[in-house]
Amino acid sequence: MSQRSCLSVILAAGEGTRMKSAMPKVLHAIAGLPMVAHVVKAAEAAGATGLALVIGHGADEMRKAVQKFAPKAETFVQEKRLGTAHAVLAAREAIAKGYDDILVMFGDTPLIDAAALAAARQKLAEGAAVAVIGFRPPNPTGYGRLIEKGGRLVAIREEKDCSEAEKKLGFCNAGMMAVAGNQALRLLDKVGNNNAKGEFYLTDIVELAGADGLDVVATEASFDSALGINNRAELAEAEAIWQARQRREAMLAGVTLIAPETVYFSHDTEIGADTIVEPHVWFGPGVKIASGAKIHAFSHIEGATIASNCDVGPFARLRPGADLRQKAKVGNFCEVKQATIEEGAKVNHLTYIGDARVGAGANIGAGTITCNYDGFSKFFTDIGEGAFVGSNSALVAPVTIGKGGYIASGSVITESVPDDALAFGRARQKTLPGKGKELRERFASAAAAKRRAAE
């Protein structure tokens, strides 16, 4: 089958009114990625060499989004919604290019398993003209039933048209199918609209192909894989299923998740073996973690690279561009953005490091901030290897702290500090004996006078 070409036609023209959103339904995200992009990934994993997206509502928004996750996909607009067969024929130009296999998929089934698609394609390679993907829901009520005889699929029957015996069947239509490329247009063009809604139904090609003596079969996908999304409640259900899959995959790959159900992954999260993730950690897009790291509870990480044996959190926030090198430490209530924390450096408590480099082995004291933004532009702070920055210091960029530099606690540093130098950037302390008591008495007297005046 690896030599067979394949076009995936993804139907994504639905308005999704039940989503109660101005955004096209298929652009709502699962794990930070539009659900239609998950469908594209599954098609590609199943060997699709061409992609055709049939769009309608929000066409311009759809095209812009598609460029990000499927730049080579062709888009076709279904001007009028006249049924699923009519929607597939909107991609006639792509289908006519002569692919061996045509996969018909739906943009609102983000959990579809690539293996289920590959199994349907395999049936085409074995000689079938049509392979319909079915599934077995816990409750088949409302689904079209797959009617089989002698190992062949003879019809897809809508429940309202089923006999009592057929209603008892649990094998239902998932909507997706694979069609032999040399038969696809001929069968689609034969589909009529002589039905109550006057629409052209893709499911009709099953009986049309059978009437022509062509082989039609059904393959089976899991219930989760066939789940379609129509509203935000179902979107949340799909998110939960996707997360459960990803957590299991991570744990089987050697990652320890102490409370798996509380950890949320993004579609592209990468975590190395022997990493430990404590409860309530959120991974946004673009996170790569090498082996042996430890991510403590309640940390929020996105767009960050974390090298082996790093220690992050608890309550840490790593924003895009955060780059932690081996054995680096970013501790509790710290935020790092667009900054490199080099090997063995420590950013332990209540600290903001942005647009900066913290050199190997450097120590950043609690309450330190890099003042990187003047309201108009960002500026860089460079902290050298082995430097020590005392607690509650403000480093006003652009500024360089040299190798081995020492910043006294509570300093505001506005000029670069040479290697191994000690810098103070604070006012000299002045102590006035007895003045504290005098000040308290004065304040108390003023407060009492104010109360009396109010009475």
**Encoded tokens for 424:** 């103070």
At 326, give phi and psi (nearest 5°): -50, 135
| Mean pLDDT of the region 181-187 | 96
Confidence of residue 159 (pLDDT cuts 50, 70, 90): confident
CATH of domain 6-220: 3.90.550.10
Please write the tens of the pLDDT for every residue from 382-425.
Answer: 999 999 999 999 999 999 999 999 999 999 999 999 999 999 99
- Check if the beta carbon of residue 28 is closer than 8 Å to that of residue 19: yes
Say yes or no to pLDDT of 1 above 60. Answer: no
Map residue 366 onto helix, strand or coil. Answer: coil
The pLDDT value given to residue 240: 97
Mean per-residue pLDDT over the chain, rounded:
94
Q: What is the pTM of this model?
A: 0.89
**% of the chain residues with pLDDT over 90:** 82
Instruction: Tally Cβ neighbours within 10 Å of residue 32.
Output: 17
Exposure pattern of 137-176 as b/e (b: 16+ CB <10 Å)? eeebeebbbbbbeeeebebbbeeeebeeeeeebebbbbbb
The secondary element (H helix, E strand) that includes residue 10 is strand 6-12
* Contacts (Cβ under 8 Å, ≥6 apart) of 301: 281, 282, 283, 284, 287, 295, 312, 316, 317, 318, 322
Is 86 a residue of the active site? Answer: no
Catalytic residue among 28, 57, 267, 349: 349
Say yes or no to pLDDT of 445 above 80. Answer: yes
| Mean pLDDT of the region 286-301 | 98
**Rounded distance between C-alpha atoms, residue 451 and residue 327, angstroms:** 59
Please write the tens of the pLDDT for every residue from 115-157.
Answer: 999 999 999 999 999 999 999 999 988 899 999 988 899 989 8
In the chain, what are the domain boundaries? 6-220, 252-423
The pLDDT value given to residue 2: 59
- Check if the beta carbon of residue 320 is closer than 8 Å to that of residue 302: yes
**Encoded tokens for 308:** 């082996």
- Check if the beta carbon of residue 73 is closer than 8 Å to that of residue 91: no
Please write the tens of the pLDDT for every residue from 302-328.
Answer: 999 999 999 999 999 999 999 999 999
| Mean pLDDT of the region 2-6 | 86
Instruction: Tally Cβ neighbours within 10 Å of residue 97.
Output: 12
CATH class of 252-423: mainly beta
Please write the tens of the pLDDT for every residue from 347-376.
Answer: 999 999 999 999 999 999 999 999 999 999
The secondary element (H helix, E strand) that includes residue 242 is helix 232-252
